[in-house]
Chains A and B, each alone.
Chain A
């Protein structure tokens, strides 16, 4: 996969931080020189960027070996840099799939664990952390040393749950042992329905989640008034063997690349309006049911590679918040109103029904509704994010670190009563804060000596 530029580091949002990426096959040895690891850089913001005083981050994708796979139990152990892209092509045709997948397959196992990713199946399967059986890690040992150690839900459980969702701040994940799911067929049975307004959509989302293991809704954020929240709901499950063809759908070898960084921001309110209209209109009938491939179902955005280039030089960010179930649909409505007020155009506004909270000390999802929107970066982005955070906070919501670049430490602390418990566990294992990121400096008050000029 093409590598990012060498004099700066950025996430999917392409907002650059100072730093440099190094690559290695042997993560255990290479962790010596760095404060942070990164996978395929699909987190949007600065989660995978190094702190400016130790500006080297170790990229894991060359560490992609599978160390064990038992077809009888579905238990997989692999190096942390193995991508979901490779895993899907290898084991899906054999009848195994990850129990939890995010909306892109260009992620690594290590990145999935560190962000404790969730997917359309959150209400039924939880986050990936629920399915991780063990992590072999390289962690701090004394002031400068490092040690290798294995943790699991039963051994060094506090380290394990601080690492799941801990954004790389407890140490380097070397190998991951993960329980895969045996799938009844290689196809997805999908039902797509169209809903004209928010109340209809939200109640349909909840009803669908009661019977379908996997659900998500795309809504048109530019609609106001009666049509606010009109959108399309996708519900799916692995198709039972008796209704699915025996052959496996083909996995695409490569996506269509977005040609070049756009010189301008293509995502004006007008282009987005046309896109959203097209998504809504494409769905002709109110209800369509049928079989589809997991690639089309789980990764529709992967079809255009590097679509983040469409946002131009200044890049993009995402705001993803979960509003608690108790706050009800009124909260979702109020939040969407705040969104439409920002006039921040967005291709994607995704609603997701979340189930039980996972064991990760900083894991994002909690029971309620998750709302995610992509925003082009502009001068007023920090202010927009602050307003959205204030709205989320007002309803007892919280945000997803893997998407964040612009939240302030004070706002984050206000939304995260769990933060002190996480920081305490992290200090137990890494008292000298050897592992840090640009994000942890920004949000957790980690120390960061002023960057020395020319420091490497």
Chain B
């Protein structure tokens, strides 16, 4: 099943990491973007970057529009999405890569941080997705692409709290798919493994660490296919298959 290549994309999180890479890959194949984020200067720098890269790939045009939107401030979500739709002259896809991460050790040292990450990655992200699906459904459908994590696939030692937020997010995204697929909403849950971005900088690298550009290419292909779940790098699908099947007695003993 192939769908036409997405053209009008609003993205929350394009200033860094995988969102930056995904925006570059989409701009490089001619998509029209609107960047949502919490810092105007950073959005402007990313918009300039995307304009140059799109032009180098043969898609010269104005820089992507930018709109202030703080994931942590749910009141900003719906107006920002409306503004994005207006700026794009339509809306085919909403992408959410924004999120926060910390290790179990960091949470142990600061419970306030745990509250923040749970709030941002679970509550705020779901509220943003609610605003996004309302916008898309009102237009008769579209695609919602949200970054979860392999950490949400199993309760593992180093990523308990973060993983719990992502697991809850996966659960919600699955229900969206079930509930609104018939109405024309396609929901893609992206489950990255360890990827070299600012979020993971300084952490010890596991095997199979991925690059943001490769993740972006894979996510674009999954979007084109209309897939509902994608692991990136791909090897993590297999790794998590094994980890999901490991007995608790083993999970208690191993370090991951």
Contact = CB atoms under 8 A, between A and B. Distances in A.
Interface of A: 1-3, 6, 20-26, 59, 62, 65-69, 71, 79, 90-91, 93-94
A26 B49 contact: no
Interface string B193-224: 00011100110110001010000000000000
Contacts of B197: 62
Q: Which of A2, A23, A71, A94 has the most B CB atoms < 10 Å from its CB?
A: A23
Nearest to A20: B202
10 contacts: A3-B205, A6-B202, A23-B198, A24-B198, A24-B201, A62-B198, A65-B46, A65-B48, A90-B53, A90-B56
Contacts of A6: 202, 204
B253 interface: no
Contacts of A24: 198, 201
A456 to B, nearest CB: 12
Given A25-B15, A90-B53, A91-B56, A66 B202 contact: no
Contacts of B45: 65, 67, 79
Interface string B1-43: 0000000000000011000100000000000000000000010
Given A2-B205, A3-B201, A62-B201, A25 B49 contact: no
B48 A67 contact: yes
Given A3-B196, A6-B204, 18 more contacts: A1-B211, A2-B205, A3-B201, A6-B202, A21-B202, A22-B202, A23-B198, A25-B16, A26-B42, A59-B201, A62-B197, A62-B198, A62-B201, A66-B49, A69-B55, A90-B53, A93-B56, A94-B56
Contacts of A68: 48, 52
Given A3-B205, A22-B202, A90-B56, A66 B196 contact: no
A62 B201 CA distance: 10
B27 to A, nearest CB: 12
B201 A22 contact: yes
Nearest to B201: A23
A66 B50 CA distance: 8
A437 B44 CA distance: 33
Contacts of A91: 56
A69 B201 contact: no
B198 A67 contact: no
Contacts of A1: 196, 211
A114 B107 CA distance: 39
B182 to A, nearest CB: 41
Interface in B34-84: 42, 45-46, 48-49, 52-53, 55-56
Contacts of B211: 1
Contacts of A71: 55
B92 to A, nearest CB: 25
Contacts of A93: 56
Interface of B: 15-16, 20, 42, 45-46, 48-49, 52-53, 55-56, 196-198, 201-202, 204-205, 209, 211
A437 B115 CA distance: 39
B56 A23 contact: no
A59 B204 CA distance: 16
Contacts of A59: 201
Given A24-B198, A91-B56, A94-B56, A65 B49 contact: yes
Contacts of A2: 205, 209
A24 B55 CA distance: 27
B42 A66 contact: no
Top 9 nearest A-B pairs by Cβ distance? A23-B201, A65-B49, A66-B52, A69-B52, A67-B48, A90-B56, A66-B49, A25-B16, A62-B198
B56 A25 contact: no
B253 to A, nearest CB: 25
Contacts of B204: 6
Contacts of A25: 15-16, 198
B60 to A, nearest CB: 9
Contacts of A67: 45, 48-49, 52
Nearest to A26: B42
From A2, A3, A20, name the one whose CB has the most chain B CB atoms within 10 angstroms.
Answer: A3
A94 B55 CA distance: 10
Contacts of A62: 16, 197-198, 201
A386 to B, nearest CB: 37
B186 to A, nearest CB: 30
Contacts of B198: 23-25, 62
Contacts of A94: 56
Nearest to B46: A65
A21 B204 CA distance: 12
B226 to A, nearest CB: 27
Nearest to A71: B55
B79 to A, nearest CB: 26
A66 B48 contact: yes
Contacts of B48: 65-68
Nearest to B49: A65
A3 B202 CA distance: 9
A87 to B, nearest CB: 10
Contacts of B20: 65
A1 B56 CA distance: 23
B41 to A, nearest CB: 9
A21 B196 CA distance: 14
Nearest to A68: B48
A69 B211 CA distance: 25
A25 B198 CA distance: 7
Nearest to A62: B198
A334 to B, nearest CB: 48
Contacts of B56: 69, 90-91, 93-94
B202 A23 contact: yes
A91 B57 CA distance: 9
A21 B202 CA distance: 7
